[in-house]
A and B are shown apart, each in its own frame.
Chain A
Amino acid sequence: MKTINLETEFCGVKFLNPFILAASPSTDSREMVARGFNAGWAGAVLKTTSVESDVVEIAYPIMSSLYPGYQMVGLHNIDLISDKRIDQIASNVVWLKERFPEHRVIVSIVGNSKEEWEYLIRRAEEAGADLIELSISCPQGSMLEGEEDVDGEMISQDARLTEKVTRWAAEVAVKIPIYVKLSAAVTDLKSIAQAVERGGAGGVCVMDSCEGIVGVDLKSLSPLPSVQGASSRGGYTGKAIKPMALRCVADIAEAVKIPISGVGGIYTWRDAVEFLLLGATTIQVCTGVMHIGFDLVDDLQDGLKRWLLSNHFQSPSDIVGLSLNHLKSNDYLVRGIKVRSRIDDDLCINCGLCYVACRDGGHEALLFSEDRKVTVDDDRCVGCGLCAQVCPVPDCICIQAV
């Protein structure tokens, strides 16, 4: 097979490939990060840290999920930032950079004041970090002391604060670039991204976890995960948030020129290609790794390489943003082309799931015969596509122009 070079650049920093471990428990121990690098991850954002005086004590358990097990659609946590402070993180940076000079070590920080932000940036730079991520979107808390008339509950929900913090950081970080991690939970993501750009950041990362409540324990009536009978709002991540993350990447790609690191629900090479096509230049993964391990990166690289090759692209950067031209306001979509559902009788297993969905949620356009055969009533079918979504057999139902 012809090989392809996956080298990528983000904020002017070279990466061996676009795949970076996002800030999470996976990146809170230097030994785990080392294993991640050995598995093929090009970089790692160490779990977010803060100043030495900021004591973090995590209440366990912190994890819950929507549909636990292999079918898990979303992971939920009430985790906090790392309980390691900047001094420990700095020593981990030194340790990792000694052993992995080609890999990128990114320090994620959060501060409560200008002084804290500036101090954290200096410490990260001195330690030899390659990049700094400003964590201003974590649902479990990021706010500045003494600010009044602020929108929202975290820095990134307020454009003015976002720009201010970004500027402090950008002015102090003289040797290495900084970028800012944003949230989908904002009124106008484009204006927040523009504030980041104005503030002087080298790039932007989107999206952070979604603030949520994943469920309630019906015995104790405590939300999940229950910590001695109570819980807090938490961060929801994983497959379920991918559509929101893709939308955020596209929104920002349309609004600013600085590069984007895409994160949110990436499990497969297809997900990764989609993020690149909508404007991301690098890909961060947290939940996928927490769920199925560091080796995930092997399949991500393999799938991305093959897709690039078979579509005659030279590198990941060739495809960044290519789908944005195909993303339009609904008003501009073509109307009037007749499309209909087409069912492959050879593949159909006669389960009737499409029939029920169309009957109760579509246009009553499918017929279910005595011998369980489903046929399309072309006069009633509008080609909405619901049937194809509920069919359990791959490729059995498609929507075609007629």
Chain B
Amino acid sequence: MRNSSMLKRSDALVEARRCLGCFESPCTQACPAHVDIPGFIKRLREDNIEGAGDIIYVSCPLSYVCGLACPTPDLCEGACTLNKLGQTPIRIGALQAYVANNYEFPENINDNGKRKAVAVIGAGPSGLGCAIQLRRMGFEVEVFEKSNSIGGLVDRVIPSHRLPSSVIIRDVNRLKEAGIKFHLRVEIDEENAKILLDDFDAIFIGTGLSSDKEYWVEGMENGVEGILSALDYLEHARKYEEGVADLPQLGNQVIVIGGGNVALDAAILAKRLGSEQVIVLYRRSKDEMPGWESEYLEAASLGVEFRWLSSVNAVTIEKKKLQSVTVQRMKFTESQKGGRRWVEPDLEVPIYQFPCDSLIYALGQELDSAIADYLGIKTLDKQKIQVDPSSFQTSVPKIFAAGEAVSGGSTIVNSMSQGMIAGRSIGRWLLEG
């Protein structure tokens, strides 16, 4: 389970003292944002919390969010040298969140003498990373977001008990204070795309993977009670946990399809919010599951059940109400695809019916390629935006892109870091041009 609780000052100081302060530390190397972790921990334990905050925020403008939401066991904490001594690693995420929560210094904005402005599309991690990087270099930045909140999927689907809105708001407020202008509920249609192209010196696309993959199996109908996408469910559940929506109604028998973090989060929340039986069906085995080990363990510890090598190949619906799913057993084949073992239906095992009230599907998200079309940039099969890998420049010179829209599904910290690198690239391009 990840660090969801805020450390007390005493806890933080005791924990900080455990850090060895390794040379060219493995934790920093494992951090996609390359936060100087031993550096900030040293300042923290010397009671220089503002100095510690300077260190984390310069590399990670979403330090509070990342401190709580990063998969630290897979990143910095997994690389901590103390693991080699058979000790628990330093609670780096929790320490970073502690520093972030106590850091009050504003961003340091330089004036580059040029009056150039950049439009950032999407207020998710990559957009925010790019925006602050450009602000730090002295450019005007305006962010256009289609939803009514800043943070992208971060503020929509991460369960509130793990990442409360107050945490996101604190990091976002620093960005607002730095002078980044936000325009919410702005959809980039053809007309708006033209305006952006005319009004701004450069454009950054950080829209991520914003549309749900369609789910359709035998027996499926439109508008069925009890069948919903995991993103919709998580968004509803987050609002419920934040006290701004009613409890999402699922029933007692819940099937979750998928093996990523979104599927695991949905299963965790369904269980936490009272469903009796929650079963995750995944077409491969646990080893292939893309979700984090920490999420799996949280789900398993709550009593979520897992059926590996299981796929739903039909649903039974009566009077627009889900009755059951038909489960097909899968088996591994010899062939591999994309580095993963491929599976096919195991026809020797009979299919079976599984009665259920709800079916939550989390089959991943895909690129909303319409924006690319309006802006006239090239995509790779409408799956990803095509960029130069070092400059993040698209086929149109003044347009750049990074994050999940370019690299596919990722973590907050990865997308944010990519956005920052792209921001530097945009800045250089603008200063040279």
Q: Which 9 A-B pairs have the closest CB atoms?
A: A352-B23, A349-B84, A351-B22, A351-B81, A356-B23, A351-B20, A349-B81, A352-B22, A355-B23
- Please tell me if the beta carbons of B26 and A353 are within 8 angstroms of each other in the complex: no
A372 to chain B: which residues have CB within 8 Å? 24, 26
Q: Kindly supply a per-residue 1/0 record for chain B positions 12-32, scoring 1 wherever the CB is within 8 Å of any chain A CB and 0 otherwise.
A: 000001001111101000000
Q: A351-B20, A352-B22, A372-B26 are in contact. List 7 more A-B contacts (CB 8 A).
A: A349-B81, A350-B81, A350-B84, A351-B23, A352-B23, A352-B24, A353-B21
B85 to chain A: which residues have CB within 8 Å? 349, 392-393
A368 to chain B: which residues have CB within 8 Å? 23-24
- Please tell me if the beta carbons of A353 and B17 are within 8 angstroms of each other in the complex: no
State the B residues within 8 Å of A (CB).
17, 20-24, 26, 81, 84-85
The winner among B21, B22, B23, B84 for most chain A CB atoms within 10 A is B23
Question: Interface size for chain A: under 10, 10 to 19, 20 to 34, or 35 or more residues?
Answer: 10 to 19
A351 to chain B: which residues have CB within 8 Å? 20, 22-23, 81
A71 at the interface (CB under 8 A from B): yes
**Distance (Å) between the CB of A177 and the closest chain B CB?**
46
CA distance A71 to B81 in the complex (A): 21
A352 to chain B: which residues have CB within 8 Å? 22-24
CA distance A98 to B99 in the complex (A): 59
Q: What residue in chain B is nearest A348 (Cβ atoms)?
A: B84
CA distance A349 to B81 in the complex (A): 7
**Distance (Å) between the CB of A332 and the closest chain B CB?**
38
- How many A-B Cβ pairs are below 8 Å? 28
B23 to chain A: which residues have CB within 8 Å? 351-353, 355-356, 368
Q: What residue in chain B is nearest A356 (Cβ atoms)?
A: B23
Q: What residue in chain A is nearest B21 (Cβ atoms)?
A: A353
- Can you name 18 A-B residue pairings with CB atoms under 8 Å? A71-B17, A349-B85, A350-B22, A350-B26, A350-B84, A351-B23, A351-B81, A352-B22, A352-B23, A352-B24, A353-B21, A353-B22, A355-B23, A356-B23, A368-B23, A372-B26, A392-B20, A392-B85
**Distance (Å) between the CB of B20 and the closest chain A CB?**
5
Q: What residue in chain B is nearest A357 (Cβ atoms)?
A: B23
Q: What residue in chain B is nearest A67 (Cβ atoms)?
A: B17
CA distance A393 to B26 in the complex (A): 17
CA distance A142 to B332 in the complex (A): 87
CA distance A209 to B75 in the complex (A): 48
* A 339-394 contacts with B by CB, 8 A: 349-353, 355-356, 368, 372, 392-393
CA distance A368 to B26 in the complex (A): 13
B24 to chain A: which residues have CB within 8 Å? 352, 368, 372
**Distance (Å) between the CB of B1 and the closest chain A CB?**
26
**Distance (Å) between the CB of B300 and the closest chain A CB?**
31
- Please tell me if the beta carbons of A353 and B20 are within 8 angstroms of each other in the complex: yes
CA distance A393 to B21 in the complex (A): 14
**Distance (Å) between the CB of B291 and the closest chain A CB?**
30
**Distance (Å) between the CB of B16 and the closest chain A CB?**
13
CA distance A372 to B26 in the complex (A): 9
**Distance (Å) between the CB of A395 and the closest chain B CB?**
13
Q: What residue in chain A is nearest B83 (Cβ atoms)?
A: A349
CA distance A351 to B81 in the complex (A): 7
CA distance A372 to B20 in the complex (A): 15
CA distance A349 to B85 in the complex (A): 7
CA distance A27 to B84 in the complex (A): 45
CA distance A356 to B42 in the complex (A): 16
CA distance A351 to B19 in the complex (A): 11
CA distance A368 to B22 in the complex (A): 12
A392 to chain B: which residues have CB within 8 Å? 20, 85
CA distance A393 to B23 in the complex (A): 15
B26 to chain A: which residues have CB within 8 Å? 350, 372
A349 to chain B: which residues have CB within 8 Å? 81, 84-85
A353 to chain B: which residues have CB within 8 Å? 20-23
B20 to chain A: which residues have CB within 8 Å? 351, 353, 392
CA distance A353 to B26 in the complex (A): 13
CA distance A372 to B17 in the complex (A): 23
A71 to chain B: which residues have CB within 8 Å? 17
**Distance (Å) between the CB of B8 and the closest chain A CB?**
15
B81 to chain A: which residues have CB within 8 Å? 349-351
CA distance A392 to B84 in the complex (A): 12
CA distance A353 to B25 in the complex (A): 10
Q: What residue in chain B is nearest A350 (Cβ atoms)?
A: B81
Q: Kindly supply a per-residue 1/0 record for chain A positions 44-72, scoring 1 wherever the CB is within 8 Å of any chain B CB and 0 otherwise.
A: 00000000000000000000000000010
**Distance (Å) between the CB of A68 and the closest chain B CB?**
11
**Distance (Å) between the CB of B168 and the closest chain A CB?**
34
The winner among A71, A351, A355 for most chain B CB atoms within 10 A is A351
B17 to chain A: which residues have CB within 8 Å? 71
**Distance (Å) between the CB of B77 and the closest chain A CB?**
15
CA distance A372 to B22 in the complex (A): 10
CA distance A197 to B343 in the complex (A): 92
**Distance (Å) between the CB of B42 and the closest chain A CB?**
13
Q: Kindly supply a per-residue 1/0 record for chain A positions 71-98, scoring 1 wherever the CB is within 8 Å of any chain B CB and 0 otherwise.
A: 1000000000000000000000000000
B21 to chain A: which residues have CB within 8 Å? 353
Q: What residue in chain B is nearest A71 (Cβ atoms)?
A: B17
A355 to chain B: which residues have CB within 8 Å? 23
CA distance A356 to B21 in the complex (A): 11
**Distance (Å) between the CB of B10 and the closest chain A CB?**
10
CA distance A151 to B26 in the complex (A): 57
CA distance A350 to B21 in the complex (A): 12
Q: Kindly supply a per-residue 1/0 record for chain A positions 161-181, scoring 1 wherever the CB is within 8 Å of any chain B CB and 0 otherwise.
A: 000000000000000000000
CA distance A368 to B23 in the complex (A): 9
B84 to chain A: which residues have CB within 8 Å? 349-350
CA distance A392 to B85 in the complex (A): 10
Q: What residue in chain B is nearest A392 (Cβ atoms)?
A: B20
**Distance (Å) between the CB of A43 and the closest chain B CB?**
37
**Distance (Å) between the CB of A104 and the closest chain B CB?**
40
CA distance A71 to B16 in the complex (A): 14
B22 to chain A: which residues have CB within 8 Å? 350-353
**Distance (Å) between the CB of B219 and the closest chain A CB?**
55
CA distance A123 to B81 in the complex (A): 62
CA distance A200 to B234 in the complex (A): 87
A393 to chain B: which residues have CB within 8 Å? 85
CA distance A258 to B280 in the complex (A): 82
CA distance A150 to B171 in the complex (A): 66
CA distance A162 to B85 in the complex (A): 53
CA distance A349 to B89 in the complex (A): 13
**Distance (Å) between the CB of B29 and the closest chain A CB?**
10
Q: What residue in chain B is nearest A370 (Cβ atoms)?
A: B24
CA distance A71 to B45 in the complex (A): 14
CA distance A398 to B59 in the complex (A): 38
**Distance (Å) between the CB of B100 and the closest chain A CB?**
24
CA distance A372 to B81 in the complex (A): 11
**Distance (Å) between the CB of A229 and the closest chain B CB?**
21
CA distance A393 to B81 in the complex (A): 11
**Distance (Å) between the CB of A351 and the closest chain B CB?**
4
CA distance A350 to B27 in the complex (A): 12
CA distance A368 to B81 in the complex (A): 16
CA distance A150 to B81 in the complex (A): 57
**Distance (Å) between the CB of A315 and the closest chain B CB?**
40
Q: What residue in chain B is nearest A351 (Cβ atoms)?
A: B22
* A 6-57 contacts with B by CB, 8 A: none
* A 224-276 contacts with B by CB, 8 A: none
